[in-house]
Amino acid sequence: MRERYNEPAWNYQVVRVVDADGKDLIPRVAKDWTVAAVTEAMLAGLKAAKKEAPTWLQLIADEQRALTRGVESAIFGMS
């Protein structure tokens, strides 16, 4: 695989989103293997392939985006 994508032997691990023929759909993701980065890459790959993202994937990406930006919570009492 490394040779197919011209990756050097010393290279860090990368994430590639490819089509059925192995062609890159988006630029590879390197040095960021967080859930946020990988789900964003998956969504971008699906968009590039003109495919609809499954709801579960979109929800994970939304949650990770919120966690990255900082989430605040508030509790409201009702009487």
Residue 13 pLDDT level (bands cut at 50, 70, 90) = confident
> What digits encode the pLDDT tens for the residues 28-72?
999 898 999 999 999 999 999 999 999 999 999 999 988 888 877
Q: What is the pTM of this model?
A: 0.78
- The answer to whether residue 18 scores a pLDDT higher than 90 is yes
Amino acid 21: pLDDT: 95
Radius of gyration of the chain (CA): 17
Domain ranges (residues) in the chain:
14-68
pLDDT for position 38: 96
Q: For residue 29, give the DSSP letter.
A: E
Strand runs labelled E in the chain:
14-15, 29-30
Supply the DSSP symbol for 28.
P
Which stretches within 12-54 are classed as H helix?
35-48
Say how far apart CA 24 and CA 50 lie, in whole Å: 14
